[in-house]
Amino acid sequence: MTLRQWTSSFLIAASMGLSLAQAHAGPAHVKAENGWVRASVPGQQATGAFVRLTAEESLRLVGVESPVAGVAEVHEMKMEGDVMRMRAIEGLDLPKGQAVELKPGGYHLMLQQLKSPVLKDSKVPLTLVFKDAKGETSRLSLELPARAMAPAGGHGGHAGHSH
């Protein structure tokens, strides 16, 4: 092998190594299942999105973005006295390999300042933003179907709550 050949194979190997490293820092290593968005009616300002997330490494869900909403947040539902309230949280821990369910009545993604009604059977683009232990950000883009109600056994998560 000449020096020139050696150099070029070294460069190829180096660039392959680099692209592998970049791939790891790119899309989040999170499995998203059973995702859906609650369809809204005209005039409704906000709706919820729900999904089951399983992270391949311990991550924290720190945000959500969607072109259909002016503001999108990660929310939790909590009893305050005897009233169920929801509020934005800074992050939701996703322990490695453990499914975390975002569902009506529990943690959910809140889409606020809706730009137009979320029509039943339409697809809603959402991007989830995660941070790992080192503070590195990764993203997962999803298209979730809009449904009038939960796929099975759901109950009205947002009825009676306002923002």
**89 — phi, psi (to 5°)?**
-120, 155
Indicate the residue among 29 and 150 with the shorter CB distance to Cu ion.
150
In the range 75-94, which residues lie near Cu ion by CB under 5 A? Answer: 75, 86
Least Å from the CB of residue 75 to Cu ion: 4
| Part of the chain binding Cu ion (CB under 5 A), chosen from 16-24, 58-66, 97-105, 110-118 | 110-118
Q: Which residue, 116, 117, 109, 129, is CA-closest to 36?
A: 109
Question: In a 3-state reduction of DSSP, which class is residue 62?
Answer: strand
Contact with Cu ion (CB under 5 A): which of 110, 111, 126, 144?
Answer: 110
Give the residue with the Cβ less far from Cu ion, 103 or 138: 103
Q: Does 38 bind Cu ion (CB under 5 A)?
A: no
- Quickly count: other Cβ atoms within 10 Å of residue 65's Cβ: 13
Q: CA dist 93 to 18, 32, 133, Å?
A: 29, 15, 11
Least CB distance from residue 156 to Cu ion, whole Å? 13
Under rule CB under 5 A, residue 146 binds Cu ion: no
Minimum gap (Å) between residue 157 Cβ and Cu ion: 8
User: Is 69 an interacting residue with respect to Cu ion (CB under 5 A)?
Assistant: no
142 binds Cu ion (CB under 5 A): no
Judged by CB under 5 A, the number of residues near Cu ion is 3
Q: Please tell me whether residue 14 adopts helix, strand or coil conformation.
A: helix
